Structure 1
Amino acid sequence: MLLSLLFRSMAASALVGLLGLTQPALAQTDADPVLLVALQASKTPALALLEMRDGKVSREAVVGLRRNDQTEAAKLDDLWATGSDAKPMTVALVARLVDRGLLAWDAPLSKLWPALAQTVRPEYGQITLAQLLSHRAGLPRDSSDADYFAAFHADTRPLPQQRMDYLRKALNEAPVAAAGAGQHYSNTGFVLAGAIAETVTGVAYETLMHQEVFEPLGMSSARFAATRQGQNMGHRNGHPVAEKFSTAEDGNPLMYSPAGAELHMTLRDWAKFCLDQLAGAKDQGKLLSKAAYRKMQTNTDGPRSALGWLAPPSIMGRKGPVLQHSGSDGNWMAYVVLFPEQGTGVLVAANAGEDMGADAAAKAVLKAVLPGLSPAN
Structure 2
Amino acid sequence: MFSRLAVLLAICTGVFSRLAVLLAICTGVFAAPAFADDLDAILSKAAAGKKAPGAGLLIIQDYAIVDEAVYGVRSLSDPTPVSRSDVWNIGSDGKAMTAVMIARLVDRGVLSWESTIGGVLPDMAGDVRPEYRAITLQQLLTHTSGLPENIRDEKALNSLFYDESSANLSDRRRAYIARALQDAPVGRAGRFSYSNTGFLVAAFMAETASKETYESLMRDEVFKPLGMTSAGFGRPPPGQPAGHRQGRIAVPRDVNPDFFAPAGNIYLSLDDWARFCIDQLRGANGKGALLKPETYSVTQSPPPGAPVSMGWFVRDSIAGLPGPVYYHEGSDGAWFAVVALFPASGSGVLAVTNGGKDMGGQALALAAAMNAAKLLANKK
Identify the range of structure 1 (38-47 vs 127-136) with the bigger mean alpha-carbon deviation: 38-47
Q: How far did residue 28 of structure 1 move?
A: 5.3
Q: How far did residue 313 of structure 1 move?
A: 1.3
Q: How far did residue 154 of structure 1 move?
A: 3.9
User: Which residue identity lines up with residue 186 of structure 1 in the other structure?
Assistant: S
Residues 28 and 58 of structure 1, relative CA distance in 2, 3 Å threshold: closer
TM-score by length of 2: 0.88
User: Per the alignment, in what secondary structure is the counterpart of residue 311 of structure 1?
Assistant: strand
1:297 aligns with: 300
2:162 aligns with: 153
User: Which residue identity lines up with residue 233 of structure 2 in the other structure?
Assistant: F
Does residue 277 in structure 1 map to residue 287 in structure 2? no
Is 2:339–2:369's contact at 8 Å kept on the other side of the alignment? no
Q: How far did residue 106 of structure 1 move?
A: 1.7
2:173 aligns with: 163
- The CA distance in 1 between the partners of 2:366 and 2:82, in whole Å, is 20
Is 1:56–1:275's contact at 8 Å kept on the other side of the alignment? yes
2:103 aligns with: 95
Q: How far did residue 179 of structure 1 move?
A: 0.8
Q: How far did residue 146 of structure 1 move?
A: 1.9
Is 1:235–1:352's contact at 8 Å kept on the other side of the alignment? yes
- The CA distance in 2 between the partners of 1:236 and 1:122, in whole Å, is 40
Is 2:95–2:264's contact at 8 Å kept on the other side of the alignment? yes
1:193 aligns with: 202
Give 2:44's match in structure 1, choosing from 14, 36, 39.
Answer: 36
Give 1:347's match in structure 2, choosing from 345, 350, 362.
Answer: 350
Q: How far did residue 362 of structure 1 move?
A: 1.2
User: Per the alignment, in what secondary structure is the counterpart of residue 267 of structure 2?
Assistant: strand
Q: How far did residue 375 of structure 1 move?
A: 7.2
Is 1:135–1:189's contact at 8 Å kept on the other side of the alignment? yes
Show the 5 A alignment for 1:260-275. Answer: 260-261=264-265, 263-275=266-278
User: Which residue identity lines up with residue 194 of structure 2 in the other structure?
Assistant: Y
- The CA distance in 2 between the partners of 1:23 and 1:165, in whole Å, is 44
Q: How far did residue 118 of structure 1 move?
A: 4.4
1:311 aligns with: 314
Identify the range of structure 1 (81-90 vs 105-114) with the bigger mean alpha-carbon deviation: 105-114
User: Per the alignment, in what secondary structure is the counterpart of residue 198 of structure 1?
Assistant: helix
TM-score by length of 1: 0.88
Is 1:38–1:364's contact at 8 Å kept on the other side of the alignment? yes
Q: How far did residue 229 of structure 1 move?
A: 4.1
Identify the range of structure 1 (292-301 vs 94-103) with the bigger mean alpha-carbon deviation: 292-301
- The CA distance in 2 between the partners of 1:319 and 1:41, in whole Å, is 32
User: Per the alignment, in what secondary structure is the counterpart of residue 324 of structure 2?
Assistant: coil
Q: How far did residue 189 of structure 1 move?
A: 0.2
Q: Deviations over 1:224-264 (max 9, x none)?
A: 142244321111011122x4x3x2x1x01111111012x11
Give 2:141's match in structure 1, choosing from 113, 133, 146.
Answer: 133
1:209 aligns with: 218
User: Which residue identity lines up with residue 91 of structure 2 in the other structure?
Assistant: G
User: Per the alignment, in what secondary structure is the counterpart of residue 69 of structure 2?
Assistant: strand
- The CA distance in 1 between the partners of 2:105 and 2:165, in whole Å, is 28
Does residue 236 in structure 1 map to residue 245 in structure 2? yes
Does residue 66 in structure 1 map to residue 69 in structure 2? no
Is 2:104–2:291's contact at 8 Å kept on the other side of the alignment? yes
Does residue 324 in structure 1 map to residue 300 in structure 2? no
- The CA distance in 1 between the partners of 2:317 and 2:225, in whole Å, is 31
More strand by share: 2
Residues 374 and 300 of structure 1, relative CA distance in 2, 3 Å threshold: farther
User: Per the alignment, in what secondary structure is the counterpart of residue 312 of structure 1?
Assistant: strand
Q: How far did residue 170 of structure 1 move?
A: 0.7
Is 2:17–2:69's contact at 8 Å kept on the other side of the alignment? no
Is 1:50–1:346's contact at 8 Å kept on the other side of the alignment? yes
- The CA distance in 2 between the partners of 1:28 and 1:307, in whole Å, is 33
Give 1:55's match in structure 2, choosing from 63, 83, 87.
Answer: 63
Unmatched tracts of structure 2, length 5 or more: 1-9, 20-35
User: Per the alignment, in what secondary structure is the counterpart of residue 299 of structure 1?
Assistant: coil
- The CA distance in 2 between the partners of 1:178 and 1:218, in whole Å, is 40
Is 1:120–1:171's contact at 8 Å kept on the other side of the alignment? yes
- The CA distance in 2 between the partners of 1:117 and 1:324, in whole Å, is 35
1:172 aligns with: 182
Does residue 364 in structure 1 map to residue 367 in structure 2? yes
- The CA distance in 2 between the partners of 1:104 and 1:312, in whole Å, is 27
Is 2:336–2:355's contact at 8 Å kept on the other side of the alignment? yes
User: Which residue identity lines up with residue 55 of structure 2 in the other structure?
Assistant: L
- The CA distance in 1 between the partners of 2:41 and 2:221, in whole Å, is 38
Is 1:69–1:239's contact at 8 Å kept on the other side of the alignment? no
**What is the aligned residue count?**
351
- The CA distance in 1 between the partners of 2:326 and 2:125, in whole Å, is 32
Give 1:255's match in structure 2, choosing from 256, 259, 278.
Answer: 259
Q: How far did residue 345 of structure 1 move?
A: 0.5
- The CA distance in 2 between the partners of 1:321 and 1:27, in whole Å, is 33
Does residue 76 in structure 1 map to residue 84 in structure 2? yes
Residues 343 and 163 of structure 1, relative CA distance in 2, 3 Å threshold: same
Unmatched tracts of structure 1, length 5 or more: 1-19
User: Per the alignment, in what secondary structure is the counterpart of residue 355 of structure 1?
Assistant: helix
Higher relative contact order (CA 8 A, sep 6+): 2
Give 2:236's match in structure 1, choosing from 227, 231, 248.
Answer: 227
Q: How far did residue 122 of structure 1 move?
A: 0.3
